Amino acid sequence: MRLGILDIGSNTVHLLAADARPGGRPLATTSDRTVVRLMRYLTPDGAITEEGVQALESAVSRAREIAETERVEMLLATATSAVREALNGEEVIARIETALGQPLQVLTGVEEAELTFLAVRRWFGWDAGRILLLDIGGGSFEFAAGGDEMPEVAASVPLGAGRMTVQFLPEDPPGEDAVEHLRAHAAAVLAPVAERLGALPDPDHIVGSSKAIRSLANLAGREVSGLGFDRTVLSRSALKSWIPRLARIPAVARQELPGITPDRTFQIVAAAVSLHTAMKMLDIDELEVSPWALREGVLLRYTESLSWGGTGI
């Protein structure tokens, strides 16, 4: 059957259409996204402005039309931290559901971490052993670790690239003092998560997912072979060396760099600082990049539920 996964995130509204069946590998047919950057539409008290809600309505209406054109039989629509934590979240959800013509599932941060971990586990396979996952979104930063498909630890913290850009790096380009303030804030927020993850056995593979991490890996990473396929690897030292350079140039110039797309150019410094801080606190020398993340996890969980007679994620 043809499934559609609509991920309403803090940065983009992303539709993935794929042919899928229980026990089979999903085959993507269409990927379409609209850049929204919801963090710029937040009021001081944390509500999404009318302009922001209208941007969401427009984006989900477009996604709905594409899903119909692509003959999607089931559309799985999810929202993450920006909608989840908005002061006027209930109103926003109601208007999104009206635009979609169907219910919207709002995921918790832990559910985001668990579903992304499922996708990464399936991509790397059981032979990969224990996995530690890091995933940076626009509003939150997810972590998960374990040796099975359900992680032993799953956590979410409000260190997303968009959120940190608005709160700590509003100037373009940001100054060194602002970067250091963000680094100190990230270390304080990450301390409890690092303690929980540090109590687990050492992972066999440390994996990063999300567009922000893929962008940073395309900029500063390297290609290696293993597990039967080529992988991109990002080292902590390479990432560290790029942060001062990224912070010195304006956003418009960053998109000229390899791997930095226009929709990430404003947020890439905050993503790099948060990721580097996490790698340092968790004593990670390098991580591997997974092409599968939350959307694939939602799809896999749904097809799995069909094989067991369930109704969804």
Q: List, for residues 17-43, the tens digit of each pLDDT value.
A: 999 988 888 899 999 999 999 989 999
Residue with tokens 């996964």, as numbered in its chain = 5
Decide if pLDDT at 309 tops 80.
no
Does one domain contain both 236 and 118?
yes
Does one domain contain both 283 and 186?
yes
- Rounded CA-CA distance 54/1 in Å is 32
pLDDT band at 65 (very low <50, low <70, confident <90, very high): very high
Does one domain contain both 88 and 191?
no
Does one domain contain both 89 and 76?
yes
What pLDDT does residue 57 have? 97
pLDDT band at 227 (very low <50, low <70, confident <90, very high): low
Decide if pLDDT at 310 tops 90.
no
pLDDT digits (tens, 9 = 90+) for 166-207: 999 999 999 999 999 999 999 999 999 999 999 999 999 999
Does one domain contain both 271 and 186?
yes
pLDDT band at 89 (very low <50, low <70, confident <90, very high): very high
Does one domain contain both 74 and 130?
no
- What is the number of domains present in the chain? 2
Q: Is 37 left (phi over 0), alpha (psi -120 to 50) or beta?
A: left
Decide if pLDDT at 226 tops 80.
no
Mean pLDDT of 262-266: 89
Q: Are 106 and 78 in contact (CB under 8 A)?
A: yes
Does a structural domain hold residue 311?
A: no
- Rounded CA-CA distance 86/79 in Å is 12
What pLDDT does residue 303 have? 92
- Rounded CA-CA distance 234/214 in Å is 9
Does one domain contain both 170 and 121?
yes
Q: Can you give the CATH number for the domain in which 164 is found?
A: 3.30.420.150
Return the structure tokens found at 229: 């396929």
Q: Can you give the CATH number for the domain in which 57 is found?
A: 3.30.420.40
Its domain, for residue 52, covers 2-106
Decide if pLDDT at 312 tops 60.
no
Q: Are 89 and 46 in contact (CB under 8 A)?
A: no
Does a structural domain hold residue 307?
A: no
Q: Are 81 and 136 in contact (CB under 8 A)?
A: no
Dihedral Cα 272, 275, 281, 282, nearest 10 deg: -140
Does one domain contain both 116 and 86?
no
Mean pLDDT of 294-313: 80
Decide if pLDDT at 307 tops 70.
no
**Spatial strand order in the sheet of 286-289:** 153-157, 141-146, 131-136, 205-209, 286-289, 229-235, 222-226
What pLDDT does residue 224 have? 87
Does one domain contain both 120 and 264?
yes
Decide if pLDDT at 78 tops 60.
yes
What pLDDT does residue 294 have? 96
What pLDDT does residue 231 have? 84
Does one domain contain both 94 and 133?
no
Indicate the range of 106-120, 171-185, 222-236, 248-262 predicted with least confidence: 222-236
Mean pLDDT over the full length of the chain: 94
pLDDT digits (tens, 9 = 90+) for 147-158: 999 999 999 999
Does a structural domain hold residue 51?
A: yes
Does a structural domain hold residue 213?
A: yes
What pLDDT does residue 97 have? 97
Q: How many CB atoms lie within 10 A of CB 194?
A: 18
Does one domain contain both 135 and 227?
yes
Q: Are 192 and 185 in contact (CB under 8 A)?
A: no
Does one domain contain both 97 and 170?
no
pLDDT band at 208 (very low <50, low <70, confident <90, very high): very high
First to last CA, the chain: 16
What pLDDT does residue 236 have? 98
Residue 146 exposed, middle or buried by CB count within 10 Å (0-12, 13-18, 19+) = buried
Decide if pLDDT at 298 tops 90.
yes
Decide if pLDDT at 311 tops 80.
no
